[in-house]
Amino acid sequence: MSTDRAAAELPRLSLAEAVAKRIEARIAEEALPAGHRLGTRDSLRREFDVAAATFNETVRLLAARGTVSVRPGVKGGIFVASPPPLVRLGRKMLELSGDSVSVSDCLVVRDALEPLLAQEAMRHRTGADIADLRRLAGELAAARGSADPFGRLAANWALHRRIAEITPNKVLQHTYISLLEFVENRLRGVTPDEPDEDGPYAGDGGSSPDGTAVHRELVEAIAGDDPRRLSAAVAAHAALTASRRGGA
């Protein structure tokens, strides 16, 4: 494709994406069910006042996302599709917002996922992964004496996020990291003296001497090849987490 042709197609592609977003918004706002007929290709093209080539690109984008299906024939047209299971899961996760989700609930699920993440990390870690984990464990230890509670929590979560990034299981990885990000965003709205290492949102006590040792051992267990050592390290981490949240 020539440079001039590529430049000419950019506005059409951007417009096609904009129309796709408007159709997605309509489906969401009106809660249109799977099988609902949105219209014909021509009627929708005229409604959104775009060229045929642009609307064809819009339909391609929406069909690729599992948002719409195209049916031929007299009674055909463009219909709301039944999205794949992973797309439905993603939409359900997006519905969890505001007061419907608590930090405590997120931490409970996070804790339940951590043994599996540790096993995955031991199974798939590389030399570069271990070097990063040891560096982050060192930064967590260095943050122990910090007067900034958010700095301590950030160092703690950076280590756990890096452990999660090792697994090739993207569903597991993204679920866990999303939970961390949700808690982190929630804590931005509290005053600095609230999330100390003994508070309910602290996570796992990375700012205490015991917490530092537990995290170092967790990293070294991941670096090794002894499943029993890893299980013991994970158990010690879980006990530390529970003690810092009063067993919650």
Which range has highest mean pLDDT (49-53, 84-88, 91-95, 240-244)? Answer: 49-53
Global pTM reads 0.60
How far, in Å, CA of 180 to CA of 103, rounded? 10
Q: Which of 118, 78, 106, 244 is nearest to 187 (CA)?
A: 106
Kindly tell me if the per-residue pLDDT of 195 is higher than 70: no
Percent of the chain predicted with pLDDT > 90:
47
Kindly tell me if the per-residue pLDDT of 12 is higher than 80: no
- What is the chain's Cα-based Rg? 24
- Specify whether the CB–CB gap between 150 and 172 falls below 8 A: no
- Specify whether the CB–CB gap between 32 and 80 falls below 8 A: yes
For tokens 């899961």, name the residue: 89
How far, in Å, CA of 98 to CA of 182, rounded? 11
The mean pLDDT of 11-28, rounded to a whole number, is 84
pLDDT in tens, 117-174: 999 999 999 999 999 999 999 999 988 776 677 778 888 889 999 999 999 999 899 8
How far, in Å, CA of 191 to CA of 67, rounded? 42
DSSP symbol at 203: -
How far, in Å, CA of 3 to CA of 50, rounded? 24
pLDDT of residue 185: 74
